[in-house]
Amino acid sequence: MIAAVSVVSCHPGNEKVKTARADCESGNAAACKDFADKLQKGEYVLRDYSRAASLYDSACAGGVANGCASLGEMLQRGRGAKRDSVRAAGLYRKGCDGGSMNGCARLGVLYRDSTGMKADIPQAVALFRKSCDGGEMIGCSHLGTLYASGTGVSQDYVQAASLLKKACDAKQPLGCVGLGRLHAAGTGAVQNDSIAASLFEGACGGDTNEGCFDLALAYETGRGRPQTFYRARELYRELCESRNGEACARLAAMYEKGTGVLRNAETADDFRSQACNAGHRASCPKPKSA
What is the average per-residue pLDDT within 3-13?
A: 52
**Within 10 A of 114 (CB to CB), how many other CB atoms are there?**
12
Q: How confident is the model at residue 12 (pLDDT cuts 50, 70, 90)?
A: low
pTM: 0.87
- pLDDT score recorded for residue 205: 82
- pLDDT score recorded for residue 286: 86
DSSP code per residue over 228-251: -HHHHHHHHHHHHHTT-HHHHHHH
Listed residue (77, 91, 84, 142) closest to 113, CA to CA? 142
Tens digits of residue pLDDT in 195-237: 999 999 999 986 678 899 999 999 999 999 999 999 999 999 9
Tens digits of residue pLDDT in 87-138: 999 999 999 999 999 999 999 999 999 887 889 999 999 999 999 999 999 9
**Within 10 A of 159 (CB to CB), how many other CB atoms are there?**
17
- What is the distance between the alpha carbons of residues 119 and 256, in angstroms, rounded to a whole number? 37
3-state SS, residue 161: helix
Helix (H) / strand (E) containing 139:
helix 137-149
